[in-house]
Each structure stands twice: as structure tokens, then as C-alpha cells.
Amino acid sequence: MGTTEPLVSEVEGMSLVAREVVAKAKYSGRVIINAILGRQDGGIALIGQKVIVGGWVKTGRVVGRSTSAFLELNDGSCSANLQVLVDANVAAEKQLAQTGTCVLVEGTLKEPPEDKKQKVELLVEDILHVGPVDSSTYPIAKTKLPLEFLRNHMNLRARTNTISAVARIRHALALATHTFFDKNGFLWVHTPIITTSDCEGAGEMFQVTTLFSEAERRDQEYAANPRPTEAEVEASREAVLQKGEILKDLKSQKKNKKEIEPAVQELMKAKDIVSRLEERLKRKPGMPRKDGGGIDYSADYFARQAFLTVSGQLQVETYACALSSVYTFGPTFRAENSHTTRHLAEFWMVEPEIAFADLQDDMNCAEDYVRFLCQWLLDHCLSDMEFMNAMFDKTALSRLRMVASTPFIRITYTEAIDILSKVTDKQFENKVEWGIDLASEHERYLTENVYKKPVIVYNYPKDFKAFYMRLNDDGKTVAAMDVLVPKVGELIGGSQREERFDVLISRLEEKNLPQEPYEWYLDLRRHGTVKHAGFGLGFERMVLFATGLENIRDTIPFPRYPGKADL
């Protein structure tokens, strides 16, 4: 969270020695708490230095006469709190000790008493800022709060140890993602959030439209200006004819321009009234409709139906077929009315696409990527992972170490079904037979009970897989693969893409998908077709896998799910 620099000073007027100076945050001038407590020595080498620190009080209490407040301060840079002592002659207000209070203080780092866990604490000499808290209404108490409760306070839940740790883990995984793909020659491509095509073909998409606001405007306009009657329109037309005759008569009398002008104005005014009445006569309240009664989307903002994307894969393929190795990392949306602990309406996907690659290349990339993510957390986010390991899942760290260091098992879908059909120590809720889509219970059994490590299952039946997956020579399966991991089940889904034009057309027909929205996609096969492959990793599922949390709603800052779209 910052670098240190040596400070050269004269000691006893005889020699020059160097001591470390803790670095300040570049844009706020304060010292980040992790720059003190995150050091290998716990901050011992910094004792005696004057620093400015800011943060929010986790716990605090007023102690004795000589000290006004004893605070545990956290600024979100790490899970550890800095012990802060405020003497009575500096500030006597009890507000400092209230949980949630924000303070910016200046003081000197000193060695704490021997019985303290930390190796350094801050003795405050000046209070620079106090952001008070109304303790009667502040919902984030000192005690451990249920995660479900915190979802109702999303504006404040990041101040808790758990959610702040998850945020830092999520950041680390995002940084690891960009690092991995950059090191392996991939380019990051920003694919659209608004799209007109359904990548998965499931139809569970959020529609993007301005027609509802347009319909409301039309209703309001119709209420303020009711549709005229035919008699009113006819009367206004008759007025135009009359005023036209008056003007014609004036011209026949050879009147001058000044005498004719009022009649011209009257005629123009009458024509304008007719035009507006005829326009109102055509208008109808509510949605614009076609002659057949269906909604007329040509009147919509994009002049056709548009949706929030369920995947950036199809669009990123266009860049893979020009730049070779690319990936997209962004939000995606599913309008599935699911209330499970594994589903969100808005979530993030990492989707690489590799030109000149087949299914084996795809599996190799997926395995390397997951192992890289796990090792990155162990190398760069260990303290937060230790917190999650202690508080939520005692196997979180060992699971990361296992995945980072262990080659994945690879089996075909047919082999997986054969293994699961012979299971006798567990009764599956979903029947096991060839042709089913593996359920989470099947996936987790393979990884947690059979192999006790990640498993890649490949060559799935074509019937329940997407149209773009390459058809295998057997005509029954496609070159698709899923990476299954303990705790979560499916973490990655991918495939070799169907590059053959005629086969892709047939697959669209099999799935009863219209060809027109995919013409641009078919062009990739018409013009310079190339074999290519890719996959998608659900980013929140990776956070879920790493942290050991039970509900995916706690892995994203602002979860969206049925009935919930706060903030």
C-alpha cells in the first residue's frame, strides 16, 4: 500500500545513518494503516515517527482520567486495526469512542505495553477530523452480525471485517485475472452490455426499452388532449376552405400585399389547427402497436428489441477472429427467477477466446488460470484468507493450496455418468442417466468425494448445450467442457466453437433460433473462418470458492436478485 524511503539524519554530530520512513498515501497525505501493520516487523521499525492516520472506529472505550479514549481504528486497507490512544488533554469528547465514528488524527507511533497483541500503537497529539455517529440508529454493532442482516444495510456493510475482507479478495482476484491474461498475450476487449442477441438461447434476459416511459407520456398527453371527434376535424377543414376562399377573393380584387397579409395569416393558422387535430386523431394511448396487434419495436430507442447481455462471448469472438487471443471481463445479467444461494441477477464474467485453439487448448488455459488465481491469493492476500479461514471455512486455505499445486482430473461426460450411476453411498435427488445435465450435487460429488480435487468434464450431449459449441464426429456430443471444483461445483464452462458454416446453421435450426439476429455471427464463418475456443468463469463463484462463504450474495458489493435492487 505504499513504499518506504530512507531518511538520512545526523546522530550526535558524528555520522550519518538511515532509518525507514513510512510512506504517505499520494493523494490524501495520510499514512495507510496497512503500511504500518502490514510490515513483516509489525511496525516496530517505525516507532517514534509522527504520522497522520484516518479510519473508522471498530471498537472504542473511555478509560480512566489520564486517557480520553482507547480506539481500534480501521481504514479498510487490511483486516488489522491500529490501536489509538487519545489523551484527555487532546480531546475529552466521548464521541470518539463510538463504533463507526470517522477520525483523522496525528500522533506518534510508540511501543505498546507487553500484554498487547500488536507491536505498535499510536499516541494522538492532534484531532484533525471527527465524523460523528448517532449510536442510537447506527446498525453496525461491535458484535458479529449475520450476513443476511448486512444485506439490508448494503450502504454500510463494507465497514464489517467480513465484507471488507471479501472486497480485498475480490480486488486481488480481478488484478490476478488481468495479470494472467496480460502475461499470456491476451488483449482485454470491452463487449457491450446492451445487445440484441441471446448468447445462451434460454430467453431469460432483461429487456432494455423506453417504450414504457413513452407509453406513459402518450397516456398523459392523451388525457390532457383527448382525441378529437371526426366532426371537430371536419369543421376545422371547412374553416380552411372558407379562409382559402376569402384569400382567393382578395387576390381577385387585386388588393395590395398589406391588405392580403392578414388573410394569409388566418389561412396558415387554420391549416395548422387541422394538422394538429389530424395528428391527434391518429394517436392512441399506451404502447405503439403493429397492425396485427403486436408491440411495434421500431418505435423503441434502438428500433428493435434489445436486452442486457447474458454473455460477452459472441461479441468477443469477433475480436478473437482478428486479434487471436482476447478476453472480456464485465457484468452480465440473467432474468432467472431463482432464489438459491448460487444465483444472482447481475454478476461478472471472465470470458477468454483463443483463435487457432481446440478443446484441449481451452482446458489447458482454464486449468492454468484457476491455479494462477489460487496461488495469487496465497501470495498477495494471505491475511484476508486467514481471516476467512478462521471465521467461515476451516478448509479455505488448504483448498486453495491443493488447487494451486494439483493437476486437474479430466474425464468425459460419459465416464462421469458411469461413475455417478454406480454410487451407493449417496442418494441423489436428480436421477443419473446419460443425457441429463449434471446437477450441482453430481458435480460436487465428483470433486469432493470421488477425486477430492478439481475435475474437468468434457464432451457433453448436444441437446442441452448451446448452439455455438462444436459438434463432435459422433453427432451426439459437442466439444464442451466444465471445470468443477470442491465447495462450488461448476466454476467454468467452455467449449470449442463451431466454425463450420453449414453445421452452425443446422444447430440454430435445431434450437429453434431465428437466423437473422445472428447474421453478423455467421459472417465470422463466411469470411476467413478459423477454429477457436473459449470459456467463461463466473467471477462471484470464484470468490465464493476462495472465501468459503455459503451465499453468493455476499461476494459482490451490491447483489441483485429477485425482489432486491437496493442502492
- pLDDT tens for each residue of 215-254: 777 777 767 777 788 888 889 999 999 989 998 888 888 8
Read off the pLDDT band of 15 (50, 70, 90).
Answer: very low
Q: What is the gyration radius of the CA atoms in the chain, in angstroms?
A: 34
Q: What is the arithmetic mean of pLDDT over 126-147?
A: 91
**Range with the lowest mean pLDDT among 7-21, 179-193, 250-264?**
7-21
Read off the pLDDT band of 200 (50, 70, 90).
Answer: low
- Residues facing 495 on adjacent strands: 480, 534
Helix (H, G, I), strand (E, B) or coil at 101: coil
Given a cut of 70, whether residue 8 has pLDDT beyond it is no
Given a cut of 70, whether residue 14 has pLDDT beyond it is no
pLDDT, tens digit, for every residue of 38-95? 999 999 999 999 999 999 999 998 877 666 889 999 999 999 999 999 987 887 667 8
Beta-sheet strands, E only, within 134-186 = none
**Predicted TM-score of the model (pTM):** 0.86
**Ranges of each domain in the chain:** 5-131, 161-208+305-554, 218-299
- Does domain 5-131 bear CATH number 3.30.70.580? no
Q: Which residues contact 488 (CB under 8 A, 6 or more apart)?
A: 342, 444, 541, 544, 545
pLDDT, tens digit, for every residue of 386-445? 999 999 999 999 999 999 999 999 999 999 999 999 999 999 999 999 999 999 999 999
The runs of H, that is alpha helices, within 12-153 are: 33-37, 147-150
What single letter denotes the amino acid at residue 257?
K
Tell me what the pLDDT averaged over the chain comes to.
90
**Range with the lowest mean pLDDT among 92-96, 108-112, 164-168, 308-312?**
92-96
Q: What is the share, in percent, of the chain residues with pLDDT greater than 70?
A: 93
- Return the pLDDT at 283: 66
Q: Which of 55, 85, 94, 89 lies closest to 73 in space, CA to CA?
A: 55
- Return the pLDDT at 115: 66
Range 194-210 burial, b when 16+ CB lie within 10 A, else e: ebbbbbbbeebbeebbe
> Dihedral of CA 257/260/262/267: which sign?
negative
Read off the pLDDT band of 18 (50, 70, 90).
Answer: very low
Identify the residue whose cell numbers are 387585386.
254
**Range with the lowest mean pLDDT among 11-25, 186-200, 280-294?**
11-25
Looking at domain 161-208+305-554, its CATH architecture is 2-Layer Sandwich (3.30)
- Return the pLDDT at 517: 86
Rounded to whole angstroms, how far apart are CA atoms 132 and 128? Answer: 13
Beta strands 82-87 and 121-131, pairing class: parallel
Domains 5-131 and 161-208+305-554 share a fold: no
- Return the pLDDT at 92: 65
C-alpha cell at 197: 442477441
